[in-house]
Structure 1
Amino acid sequence: MSTAEPWDVIVAGAGLAGLVAARELAAQGLSVAVFEARERVGGRTWSCAFPGTETTVDLGAEWVAPGHHAALVAEYERYGIELLPDGEAGLPRTWLLDGETLSGDLPLDDAERAAFEAFIGDLVAEAEVLTGQPAFTSSPGIEVPFADRLAELPPRVAAVLSSLATSVMGALPSDVSVVGMLDDMAEIGAKPEPGEDGENGFARSSQRRVEGGVGQLADRIAATFEARLFLGAPIAAVAQDADGVEVTLAEGTAHRARGLVSAVPVNTLADIAFRPELPADIALLAAEKHSGQAVKAIARVAGMPGDAALSMWPPALTGAIGIGTAVAGWDDALVICFGLPETLDPTDPDALTAQLRRVFPEARVVEVACHDWNADPYARGAWFAPKPGQWALLAAFLQPHGRVVFAGSDISPTSLGYMDGAVVSGRAAAERIREVLGA
């Protein structure tokens, strides 16, 4: 069964990229339909109340770097959404490195710190060489596992860098391309604003959270744009012909449009049957999938300070950040915990308790809020982290596939893997599909 009236554009996915693209297209007078598989908008952003409270927490994407994420900050200003003060800056950090408990921003002696800073300096210089080149071009020398670069470093320096890399990328250093780390540290193609370089040389580590949760942005776009939104409508197939595209939903209904913006995560693309088939590089990345597999849980923890930060290597728990309390007067802290699926079950309070007690002996997890993005069929992973060899594949997403264009934080040429990248990519996709349609 088909719709009686075709749309100008169908958008697949109501994450930030899809919603921004739909809003821009509808504002320019095109008829737009957005089909979202979930019963909510926002994609891998999702804000909800922590159990038993009215305090909003974010189960997915959360942090914003104002000096780097200009497109995202402009969206917040447009909808009157406020950023919280930089509460994480200067938190006392504890490190558990190979079973040894240490403290300080960098738990390194003078010689180790010199090796660390030299390593970071070399990486930043390497990233600057790539700045200004076409998106997603690199040399074979940086399409290798980040772990390879750590092999000759002093053991503690390698442990610190491994912990930071795993936390930032949501994957082990052995599974992440060097160029992915370069992009995250120096954001290839974009310069940080003065004063926005983060501690330890990580260009975007100076980040803030959003008052009331990041999910507000998707909700407000969806509530005010002129596109037609369909929730609970997963797409099963996309077929093109000379006149347009036909999108078939999982329940069998077909809808026609002159063009399509595909704004679904890269790791879910293989679940949609495209005809003609996707270009080789896109199909390869869709089949291989990126390596971002971070597990996130927000835990109510007794016996642990609410202003602590924790890093570990080996990564049983890749990191933990205290964000205060959910209710005024609570003694218990809210702690954001990160891990990897092979080492941490975020739904198991006892497992979280055991890991936190390695540093905070009195810690006890009382309640947990989390979402398994790896098992989620409409995500199949966390934020984008490229495997060695995948960087160059991303260039294919910047070109139309007939009447289909692509959007999403996974493929954005700037702020790759961040909410800002989703906004940038959504705007670019709106322009690209207008060019395809001759609108």
Structure 2
Amino acid sequence: MSGTKTSGIALSRRGVLTAATAAAAHTVLRPPSASAAPARTASDVIVVGAGFAGVTAARALRRRGLRVRVLEARNRIGGRTWTTTFEGEQVEMGGVWVDPLQTHVWREIENQGTGIVADPAAERALFPTATGFGYYHPEEAFGWQGALLARFSERARELFPDAANPLVRADLLRRVDPQTIRDRLDAMRLSVLDEKWLTGATGGLGGGSERGAYTQFLHLWALCNHNADQYYGINTYRPASGMTSLARAILTEAAADVRLNSPVRSIIDTGREVVVRTRTGASYTATSVVVAVPVNVWNTIEFSPGLTVERRRASSQTFGVPTAQKLWLRLRTSLGNTYVHTPEGYPIHTLVPIKQLADSQLMVGFSGDQRLDVNNVAQVERAVRLVVPDATVLAVRGQHWGADPHALGGGAFRRPRQLTGLLNAVQLPHGRISFATSDIASGWSGYVDGAMESGLRAAEQVARFASR
């Protein structure tokens, strides 16, 4: 993808900072009513959740001339994306990377003119060896691992001939969808070292190789055109002004009445209208509703009529990875500009270099270890020293997405049988209620692009009830 242009600025896939931040969009966000008497006001459509699925749905409905109210449980917008600061630097605590392959979000960034930042290229990689860890040139490390991933995913072309429509070959997928990532790893009969190199690259994404579906990884590989360079490249670019700024710009265009701190308790479809009640005591009515919260959260809301068996099962099984944690670190170490990759079983499975500071290195890490407190400097330092013995953690800030009551998990990674057994069913409307979340996207499930795809589909489904 070398030479890609966005907002008139040429970018290389692993380049340096190249784009300036655009002026931030402004939107008015209201807290819930402070009145003792419960509010009951009408809209054409209510959108529950102000993540990318929700704000995209809200704008699509507004463009149809409909009045939209957005109810957001948190005191901020963005959902599982969250732009904040750490050690004086802008950081993303949730979803961050975008790519030209992800056409919805890439087009949005171009249209908003926010610009793009490309993470710097690592100068070396720290990967497993037979006896511990060793340094490799990035081309050697990713070349070797990429070849293993291609072998792991060799059936992707057959099973996913159209990556945007993952169930085209449902007849073949039904025989493979029950398999976990671990099932595929075992069938490959890898050497000990090759196993180490593959488990970190496959199992870490899905909350462990025993949890994640083999077909989920194959689908991701197909979305990346069965190409290791493109697979690695999708985690390179990010919006210069931050994910929250991009979500706010979309929400501004939606011109919606946004209520923060408004977690939803119940949604009642009477057949003529939908009544949404919040845990703060407010009550709102609309002709239809878009539920734009993660699948893992569905079972925390009371629905009447009740959710379908498929939706209840999806929420109980989880789509978003319940163990997903992300952490930002300021490290003093000899590591330098090095990408760190560990086998499955280590408390931190990936460390990505982001910026060289005056006396330290800014890195972002990922963990699926529930025993690790990602906001505890001493614990994080012990975890890092398992791989980098001379590391000193000067500061850390983490987010445990599974412990967030409004997420109950990080990015989506389907489990066995969920693709063929649940995806179609949970994408369908439920009376006057439709569902939007990256978790149930047909394309980039687990990414912002998937959230936007799902938001557009849900808006199309409910708009027919509110046509004016």
TM-score, with normalisation over the residues of structure 2? 0.84
C-alpha contact 2:74 2:263 (8 A) present in aligned 1: yes
CA root-mean-square deviation? 2.6
Tell me what 2:107 maps to.
74
Q: 1:118 to 1:209 in 2, by over 3 A?
A: closer
CA distance in 2, matches of 1:76, 1:391: 30
1:130 Cα deviation (Å)? 6.3
Of stretches 346-355 and 177-186 in structure 1, the one that deviates more from structure 2 is: 346-355
Task: Say which of 234, 237, 249 aligns to 1:208.
Answer: 237
Correspondence list, 1:21-420, <5 A: 21-51=57-87, 53=88, 55-66=89-100, 68-88=101-121, 90-96=122-128, 100-104=132-136, 105=138, 116=148, 119-120=151-152, 122-129=154-161, 131=163, 132=165, 134=167, 137=170, 138-151=173-186, 152-167=189-204, 169-187=205-223, 192=225, 197-199=227-229, 202=231, 205=234, 207-290=236-319, 292=321, 293-313=323-343, 314-325=345-356, 330-392=358-420, 393-420=422-449
Which amino acid letter does the alignment assign opposite residue 298 of structure 1?
A: W
CA shift, 1:208, in A, is 1.5
Per-residue displacement from partner, 1:405-428 (whole Å, max 9, x unpaired)?
A: 111111111101101111111112
Structure 1 139/325 Cα, relative in aligned 2: closer, same or farther at 3 Å? same
Question: Displacement, 1:103?
Answer: 3.2
Instruction: Assess if the C-alpha contact under 8 Å between 2:289 and 2:432 holds in 1.
Output: yes
CA contact (8 A) 2:47 2:54 kept: yes
* Deviation sequence 1:148-204 (CA, Å, 0-9, x none): 11112222222211110134x2410111011111112212xxx74xxx9443x7376
What's the CA shift for 1:99? 5.2
SS in structure 2 of the partner of residue 323 of structure 1: strand
Give the direction of change, closer, same or farther, for the CA distance of 1:291–1:135 in structure 2 (3 Å limit): farther
Q: Secondary structure at the match of 2:356?
A: coil
> May I ask how many residue pairs the two structures share in their alignment?
423
Closer, same or farther: CA 229–206 of 1 in aligned 2, 3 Å: closer
Q: CA deviation at 1:85?
A: 2.6
Partners in 2 of 1:249 and 1:121 — Cα distance? 45
Corresponding residue number in structure 2 for 1:431: 460
Q: Secondary structure at the match of 1:162?
A: helix
Q: Following the alignment from structure 1 to structure 2, what is the Cα–Cα distance between the partners of residues 118 and 26? A: 43
Structure 1 CA distance for aligned equivalents of residues 243 and 102 of structure 2: 14
**Cα 1:113–1:25, aligned 2, differ >3 Å: closer, same or farther?**
closer
**For residues 46-101 of structure 1, what are the alpha-carbon distances to aligned partners after superposition, in whole Å with 9 as ceiling and x for unaligned?**
011114x2x200111111122x111101111222211113424x541111357521
What amino acid is the match of 2:366? F
Q: Does structure 2 conserve the Cα–Cα contact (< 8 Å) formed by 1:310 and 1:321?
A: yes
CA gap 1:206/1:367 in 2 versus in 1, 3 angstroms: closer
Residues 99 and 43 of structure 1: is their aligned pair in 2 closer, same or farther, counting only changes over 3 Å?
A: farther
Q: Once superposed, which parts of structure 1, at least 4 consecutive aligned residues long, lie more than 6 Å away?
A: 112-115
Q: Which runs of 5+ in 1 are unaligned?
A: none
**1:93 is paired with a residue of what secondary structure?**
strand
Q: Distance in 2 between matches of 1:304 and 1:223?
A: 45
Change (3 A) 1:217 1:8: same
Give the percent of matched residue pairs that are identical in Structure 1 and Structure 2. 27
SS in 1 for 2:70: strand
Instruction: Say which SS state the counterpart of residue 337 (structure 1) adopts.
Output: strand
Partner Cα distance (1:96, 1:406) in 2? 42
Contact 2:380 2:393 in 1 (8 A): yes
**1-structure distance, mates of 2:235, 2:76:** 30
The one-letter code matched in structure 2 to 1:40 is R
Whether the 8 Å CA contact 1:26–1:226 is kept in 2: the answer is: yes
Letter in 2 for 1:181: F
CA 1:216–1:62: 2 relative to 1, 3 Å: same
Deviations 1:84-132 (A, max 9, x none): 13424x5411113575213334878x9x879826624514334434645
Which residue identity does 2:244 align to in structure 1?
Answer: G
Query: Amino acid of the residue matched to residue 165 of structure 1?
Result: T
- After superposition, the C-alpha distances for 1:348-378 in whole angstroms (9 at most, x for unaligned) are 2122222322333321011112222111100
User: Is contact 1:316-1:344 (8 Å) kept?
Assistant: yes
- Counterparts in 2 of 1:287 and 1:158: CA distance versus 1, 3 Å: same
Structure 2 residue runs of 5 or longer lacking an equivalent are 1-36
In 2, the alpha carbon distance for the partners of 1:103 and 1:274 equals 54
